[in-house]
Amino acid sequence: MNYTFIKDLPTNVGEEIELKGWAYNLRSSGKIAFLQFRDGTGRVQVVFEKSGMNENDWEKLNSITIESSVTVTGKVKEEPRAPSGFELEGTGFEIVQLAPDDYPISKKEHGPDFLLENRHLWLRSNAQWAIMRVRNTIINATYEYLNSNGFIKLDSPILTPNAAEGTTTLFELDYFDLGKAYLAQTGQLYIEAGIMSHGRCFDFGPVFRAEKSKTRRHLTEFWMMDAEAAYTEHEENMKIQEGLIVYIVEQVLARNMPELEILERDVEALKKIQAPFVRMTHAEAIAKLREMGSSIGERDDLGADDETILTKEFDRPIFIEKYPVEVKAFYMKRDPEDPSVALNNDMLAPEGYGEIIGGSQREDDYDTLLERIKEENLPIKDWQWYLDLRKYGSVPHSGFGYGLERIVGWICGRAHVRETIPFPRMINRLNP
Ligand code: 4AD
Ligand code: MG
């Protein structure tokens, strides 16, 4: 018999099939055993009756421990009371490996430290399974949207000679005879080189920041997607971001309803993620916060709490644009109408989630960029290649970067990013 998958049970009603997977629980009365079974694609209950089995098999069945690997055969039955809508009438089983009866993760509540220590096992739990499926959809939807809008994937390096996003969060290592190397904080600058060849490019991979704070939204290793487009200015840059996020949410709603249900996510909130998103300038955001009693300064960056307050006002993402230049990166183009602010935007996710995207139009004038590099005391020789992009065929261009774990956290309704990446790395966690 060819084996099948739990996700395909609807097409096998009435048939006898085989499934390969793991037992996540077994309840047994003297006469009936309920094996809770998962195979990676879903979960289903397999019901065995003692009357249809020999004594030996019945005993063996009852010896199955939590997280033992097993294969089962059975007849597929519709069962409206089951979460999946199906059940299996067990006809046979095989124990592949009998796990010791001490699986660390039980149904009782565990603290986050214990769960993170057992992340290699925790990944099997239902909610964690659901989050990773949503993450997978978000990754694929990102590729789909960008590819169908003319963006070519160009992989940026992880080992880099300098800091793209400030020097305070750099991971440093010794690099043979060449001195220091740093783990990339973003691939953006390399993607800027790529678009002068391809017009539109993106990268998608791990980036690193030595974040010394423990917050619900900071990891030291996380996945960033940097997109960049030639002949594209600030306004169009925001349109691309808006289109991407709308598409991602739409695809999660189309492909992951069972997962969102497991996560008890309010899907009505996700259905409201439609264009146009809310827009305000940094100055307007500050005014609003001050009206609400905040003592934030006119030219201050927004903190996590400020973002939370602002996003609770709206049911759509918010673009906050035109931040004071001094709180943003050196490569951002200044607004010709007010050179004290940058032609940039952050995108804040609603329901209190806050920043998920950072983007801007890039400085495309050689001399202005050189000035900015000098002002920041960056070593010019390391940046000559980046300046070259403004020397040979410079064009107005813009781009943005999203933090995958922040987006997964928002869409899954999880408070902390540590649950949104398979193996989180934080200031106090490197294991497993
Ligand atoms: O806003 P950031 O720092 O922007 C850049 O790095 C730009 N070079 C991107 C670009 O224009 N191509 O980071 C981009 C996003 C943030 O909006 C946030 O979602 C996420 O990356 N992010 C983090 N996610 C988890 N842990 C951290 N420590 C993060 N730092 C930033
Ligand atoms: Mg940012």
Which atom of ligand 1 lies at the shortest distance from residue 399's CA? Answer: 11
pLDDT at 363: 98
Indicate if 135 and 208 belong to the same structural domain: yes
Ligand nearest to the CA of 208: 1
112 in any annotated domain? no
> Atom 6 (ligand 1): residue with closest C-alpha?
186
Indicate if 269 and 182 belong to the same structural domain: yes
Give the helix/strand (H/E) hosting 370: helix 366-375
Which atom of ligand 1 lies at the shortest distance from residue 400's CA? Answer: 11
> Which pTM does this prediction carry?
0.97
Indicate if 190 and 64 belong to the same structural domain: no
Grade residue 83 by pLDDT with cuts at 50, 70 and 90: confident
8 Å CB contact between 223 and 421: yes
**pLDDT tens-digit map of 21-72:** 999 999 998 899 999 999 999 999 999 999 989 999 999 999 999 999 999 9
Indicate if 11 and 148 belong to the same structural domain: no
Residues 6+ apart with CB under 8 A from 205: 155, 156, 158, 187, 223, 224
Indicate if 82 and 183 belong to the same structural domain: no
Six-digit token pair at 303? 């903190």
275 in any annotated domain? yes
Across-strand partners of 35? 26, 46
> Atom 20 (ligand 1): residue with closest C-alpha?
403
8 Å CB contact between 239 and 213: no
- Last residue of one domain, picked from the residues 67, 97, 127: 97
234 in any annotated domain? yes
Q: Is the pLDDT of residue 98 over 70?
A: yes
Pocket lining for ligand 1, CB < 6 angstroms: 165, 186, 188, 209, 211, 218-219, 222, 224, 226, 355-359, 399-403, 405-406, 417
Which atom of ligand 1 lies at the shortest distance from residue 226's CA? Answer: 12
pLDDT at 1: 59
Task: Look at residue 150 and give its three-state secondary structure.
Answer: coil
8 Å CB contact between 184 and 160: yes
Least Cα distance to 207 among 189, 194, 232, 180 occurs for 189
- Helix axis angle for 380-388 and 366-375, nearest 10°, is 160
Q: Give dist(CA 227, CA 229) in Å, integer.
A: 7
Using a pLDDT cut of 70, give the percent of the chain over it.
100
Q: Is the pLDDT of residue 417 over 90?
A: yes
> Atom 18 (ligand 1): residue with closest C-alpha?
403
Six-digit token pair at 117? 């220590």
106 in any annotated domain? no
Indicate if 159 and 301 belong to the same structural domain: yes
Indicate if 91 and 176 belong to the same structural domain: no
Indicate if 124 and 229 belong to the same structural domain: yes
Residues 156, 161, 162: CA angle, nearest 5 degrees: 95
Indicate if 162 and 240 belong to the same structural domain: yes
289 in any annotated domain? yes
Q: Give dist(CA 121, CA 125) in Å, integer.
A: 8
Q: How far is the CA of 27 from the centre of ligand 1 (A)?
A: 47
Ligand nearest to the CA of 189: 1
Indicate if 268 and 317 belong to the same structural domain: yes
Least Cα distance to 192 among 176, 203, 182, 204 occurs for 203
**pLDDT tens-digit map of 286-320:** 999 999 999 999 999 999 999 999 999 999 999 99
Among 170, 223, 224, the mutation site with the greatest number of ligand 1 atoms within 8 A of its Cβ is 224
Domain at 359, CATH number: 3.30.930.10
Grade residue 171 by pLDDT with cuts at 50, 70 and 90: very high
Count the domains in the chain: 2
Across the chain, mean pLDDT equals 96
Least Cα distance to 397 among 276, 236, 264 occurs for 236
Domain at 20, CATH number: 2.40.50.140
Indicate if 124 and 17 belong to the same structural domain: no
Q: Give dist(CA 182, CA 180) in Å, integer.
A: 7
Instruction: Please name the amino acid found at residue 416.
Output: H
Indicate if 212 and 325 belong to the same structural domain: yes
303 in any annotated domain? yes
205 in any annotated domain? yes
pLDDT at 36: 97
**pLDDT tens-digit map of 108-161:** 889 999 999 999 999 999 999 999 999 999 999 999 999 999 999 999 999 999
The distance of Cα 372 from the centroid of its chain, to the nearest Å, equals: 32
pLDDT at 170: 95
371 in any annotated domain? yes
Among 186, 220, 400, the mutation site with the greatest number of ligand 1 atoms within 8 A of its Cβ is 186
Domain that holds residue 378: 119-419
Question: Residue length, the chain?
Answer: 432
Least Cα distance to 378 among 390, 366, 369 occurs for 369
> Atom 31 (ligand 1): residue with closest C-alpha?
403
Six-digit token pair at 245? 């996020």
pLDDT at 106: 85
Q: What is the CA radius of gyration of the chain?
A: 26
Q: Give dist(CA 49, CA 273) in Å, integer.
A: 48
